[in-house]
Structure 1
């Protein structure tokens, strides 16, 4: 079973529908026991970094997520869920993140011709190959975000060009992040979710 972590951060219904489309059994849950017994975890999210971390702490999920990752359970963070994988977020105030991938979540610089939030379809530019990036170079995916993850290049799997190079996919070990929304990115996004399910051993 794949668990979509419930921390009141929105967009969970779309993620569950997308997983159902690719034939993956998934459940929305904030139960630490289910998280620790899952084959894989997805941390979705729409909203603000400080609010997300406060909710994760309030539900006792930070320790459960760390324990799950330490035990080798794959984790995919989507949009805000990817941002909180980093060590610190600078949205509204400085907030400690999950610290699963080194880096800082920063505001996208405002430049003429590049409105913030960054919203719409952008092509992926692959930086390194992982199970989730197979065949993705130049594929377009759907973004909606005002912040980006400033992480060392060793952890960057794909970027998108906007006012600057935006990390679009990152990973460390079995912790993966997608800044865009795979569940809103058509067949390309469904392919990414399929590949993650394969990493979790849920699909052949």
Structure 2
């Protein structure tokens, strides 16, 4: 299938997670003029029955594109901890509970289930899908590797950022300035792949 280039001005960010919306909007700024979120547009959150991050990202992007009539970008991301058999993985958000997600509780669960184990390796995965209203989808995936640290540190990130230290780093994702995190994160790695495939910078 031929790769499709984005040639419009509006992309819907298919998420109701405010932290994720801010991060994706910052990444999109050079390539689109308007990027309303699914939450701002009052779009429903679809079920995510996929078996992979890419499948779930595609489900969310397609639902938002169909409902809004605009191209929509969605990501599905999670923390993968080998010592926990890959958990929380696809269920990273579900570990944090319902609508008002409690990631402090999810982080405490990760620490509790790791117990006294010495293997603290982990990686973040992000799949990003860009869908058009006609159903066409482009999807990519990125990952960043590191270790977990406890207790949590930092207030600048979201989700599991306060316990993740990337390889070669000494501070957590939640201690980094957003621009610094955007340069190395799993979402940034996936987004660079999508940009190379689908985007042209907006001309001023």
Same fold (TM over 0.5): no
TM-score by length of 1: 0.34
TM-score by length of 2: 0.34
Structure number having the greater strand percentage: 1
Structure number having the greater helix percentage: 2
